[in-house]
Structure 1
């Protein structure tokens, strides 16, 4: 099957600018896809602009972000592949139910409603946002040290610092409050219909050394799909942390994702 012309929508995670996807965009474009990486609501075109306009990022929740990307998908001429990281991986799963997609890839996805493990590393990574309830109305940034723990724990200090400089930006803390309280509420914007068979094939990727979304959390999310007749595959990558989407190891991850995509697109055939 040819992939020529198939749209790919990349969705970044909390605290990271969409420019982090540029190497993936270049790679997927060279392979014949039509990739785009729109920012979240309120994001500016550059990291520097986004850092200076934190007030425009504040207050957005999961439903706002999902609706924003849904509108983008609605403008495309055919169903896309959607690839999301972290909170973007949660949004990807929501879009997989609300929109017709060719395939969906959730990389270290933030936990959806129904996921119960809450490791200490995850709590520590989220603490800068969750430590004060008033942050739900604010955009919160990570310091260099906080970024090192949450994203760059398997990297050298130099690489983690460089990535923080290149991509880190404030993010709406409301998303983490919605995720943290999902299992305490009857309805939640973090809920996804994990039983439906009316969705595209889904790949969920875990990183063994991830502090922000530990592997046990990702495996628990995958387990929620066990009663769905639709495809939900899982792969875990040893020795990687939360930054593996945009650190020096990104080509290996992209290889794995692209191979899975080609296989699943060939199996599924055309989508109308």
Structure 2
């Protein structure tokens, strides 16, 4: 009997639609995996539908999203791999810390509780949501210039604008507020069990030109795992911004993830 393909769950972050993972799905299928990319709770099936109904995702927080993806994994099996970008990376870390999933890759992951650096570039990237306290319970959209600063700063203006038109959707602002306040809240939703043992291996990936999750933030995230004996590794992509999962160089990142998974026996 042929061995069943290992499930992979791709988890996107704020302001990108789940279908932005489609090239990754095809690459992972070709490599013998069984990948899926479910949207966040209440996320519409298409970019157009999500843009037309932003209130559907308003007020979704980290815990609600984590519970949603935990349920997805429970239907796929304990050998599932989690791959997340931005807040999806935080969710992948959070689930792995709860013993969910066989391993995880967190690409430019949003800051978890305990991470202290807060660079100006990151503050500016989050300002469209964090700049108005009333956004806490709202869904917020980016403009093309805001996307260009937060995601496409390492790209040409033409490529950044094309990605903006293809993949951006309104997203709940609440996770940003939760992450920003995490170090001041005892039971923060952005807390991750970084000391859990045993757990599956974890790879943290950083783009050195990222404005939304600057390299120093991902390095600080790595330090949160210093007391864990479980496999925790770090890889940088020089000169890459927050768009590294969807821009012209996405294949380099996907191939590096596949290589790492193979090295871990996953």
Q: What is the TM-score with the length of structure 2 in the denominator?
A: 0.97
Written as runs of structure 1 = structure 2, the 5 A alignment for 1:1-272 is 5-265=5-265
**Aligned partners of 2:98 and 2:193 also within 8 Å:** no
- In the TM superposition, what is the alpha-carbon distance from 1:99 to its structure 2 partner? 3.5
Which runs of 5 or more structure 2 residues have no equivalent in the other structure?
Answer: none
Segment of structure 1 superposing worse, 177-186 or 3-12: 3-12
What do the CA deviations read for 1:21-61 (whole angstroms, capped 9, x no partner)?
00000010111100000000111110000011101010000
> 1:211 aligns to what SS in structure 2?
coil
- The ranges of structure 1 where at least 4 consecutive aligned residues each deviate by more than 3 angstroms after the TM superposition are none
Distance 2:178 2:111 in 1: 10
**Aligned partners of 2:209 and 2:240 also within 8 Å:** yes
> 1:90 aligns to what SS in structure 2?
helix
Give the alignment's Cα RMSD to 1 decimal: 1.2
What do the CA deviations read for 1:216-270 (whole angstroms, capped 9, x no partner)?
000000011011011110011101000010100001001111000001026xxxx
Which runs of 5 or more structure 1 residues have no equivalent in the other structure?
Answer: 267-272
Distance 2:3 2:238 in 1: 29
Distance 2:63 2:241 in 1: 27
Distance 2:182 2:59 in 1: 17
What do the CA deviations read for 1:133-158 (whole angstroms, capped 9, x no partner)?
11011000000000000000010111
Q: What is the TM-score with the length of structure 1 in the denominator?
A: 0.95
Distance 2:11 2:78 in 1: 18
What do the CA deviations read for 1:120-174 (whole angstroms, capped 9, x no partner)?
0000000000011110110000000000000000101110000000000110000
